[in-house]
Structure 1
């Protein structure tokens, strides 16, 4: 079973509009073409579809994504307008993926760059995990970890401690994917509880489809030496392999 994660397209209604380091629509098309060549079984779009908060930007994204030869799912990022996004395509929170289960979490906070699950969403996640012990992958926009860039770490998932505390009771959670950081990230994180003991979760960030952010930067900075990309995740039983691919634009 092959999954591909894409993230942070930051599209405009104007297909010729430029970002700081490129043309988002052109980058989006080129990354999507490379993704299709991977022959994925599922594509996951982990937020920040739009930059200009326009209905047309979501229509463009859906039109392009629907050319993929597989099912695809998206979730909102901090730049997204939820009503416009869901008018084009609804959000799906729970997806069967062979022997695995995918949970797509909405961490968006209205009008804020940072993310949060909040008590209601955390309680819902608790119920979801309590009801099913299949190997589980969680997909979200905001990083639940520090990625090493001070300005980005300040606008990650704000209630991450509560999130990790909840996951400590559910060893079936094996993988977490996030967007927002516009850079690759890969670590195995250990969490523990008295009842379950210690278990390990793979936590992975993904290059943006649009501009890349400079790793390790104290303040906002574009990484002009890096290229757009995507993450491949191959699932085999309860094990997995994952890596990042970059795309020349």
Structure 2
């Protein structure tokens, strides 16, 4: 059974000492990567907000921090990223839009919108998804994107979720090979089952958001990552690994 690592919402900035709400994001990602060395993973998924400022230096730092794991990587943009900068400053083989892991296909969909916090999947990207899903010879499919396609119960973050989620589900409906949807953006653990479809949101490698919160609020939880196990029969199981220590958080205010 293959295992894959998900690192999300890393929020690396141009400044090596850059922090988000008091957490040094380079240090927290480095610590997550070091903890992840214990796993026998086959692949890494980076599900958006990789940079906080879309700078060349931030993407270079991300590449440098991830490289010691010596694993293939698939990456997508979040609302803090700039897709063109990712294409310019990250390895092209990180940005192919899909990867095959045994009898699984991980389909990476771009939900980022320039200068907007909410998500939207373009018609072109939806057409690509439909074509790939219809033509793949893989037995199972995991959809990966940045923005949540379903509400997670916090009105402030659900206001900037995937705006055309119904279009995505329209593409996925009727395809039994599609086993799960994996996303970031929400900085918290979220799991929901819709029939045979597992919908999974994950905590950040830096700060976590308080769940079921009307307004922006931080959860006093350490940086984390998710390890997913993809069974050949289509089942998905996963674990979240939190760092033992966390840096002090700044007061709750919009990030």
**Which TM class, normalised by the smaller chain length?**
over 0.9
Matched, 1:189 2:194: yes
Pairing 1:201–2:182 present:
no
Shift of 1:21: 3.4
| 1:8-27 to 2 correspondences below 5 Å | 8-27=9-28
> What is residue 55 of structure 2 aligned with on the other side?
54
Listed as ranges, the gaps of 5+ residues in structure 2 are 246-255
Root mean square deviation, CA, Å: 1.2
Give SS of 2:142's match: strand
User: What secondary structure sits across from 1:61 in the alignment?
Assistant: helix
Of the three residues 204, 218, 221, the one matched with 2:217 is 221
Distance 1:247 1:212 in 2: 12
- Which range is displaced more, 43-52 or 115-124? 115-124
Which whole-Å CA distance do the structure 1 matches of 2:35 and 2:76 have between them?
A: 21
Whether the aligned pair in 2 keeps the contact of 1:39 and 1:69 (CA below 8 Å) is no
Aligned pairs for 1:168-187 (under 5 A) are 168-187=173-192
> Deviation of residue 161 (structure 1)?
1.0
CA distance in 2, matches of 1:240, 1:219: 32
Match for residue 124 of structure 2?
Answer: 120
CA distance in 2, matches of 1:215, 1:240: 23
Which residue, 203, 207, 210 being the options, matches 2:206? 210
The unaligned stretches of length 5 or more in structure 1 are 191-199
Q: Deviations over 1:47-101 (max 9, x none)?
A: 1111122110000001111111321121110100222211222212121110111
Q: Pick from 233, 237, 246 the counterpart of residue 242 of structure 2.
A: 246
Distance 2:77 2:215 in 1: 24
| Count of residues paired in the alignment | 239
Checking the alignment, whether the CA contact within 8 Å between 2:74 and 2:97 is kept in structure 1 is no
Report the secondary structure of 1:146's partner residue.
coil
Runs of 4+ aligned structure 1 residues displaced above 4 Å come to none
TM-score, length basis structure 2: 0.90
- Residue 38 of structure 1 aligns to a residue whose secondary structure is coil
TM-score (norm. length: structure 1): 0.92
- The worse-fitting range, judged by mean Cα deviation, of 2-11 and 85-94 is 85-94
1:99 is the counterpart of 2:103: yes
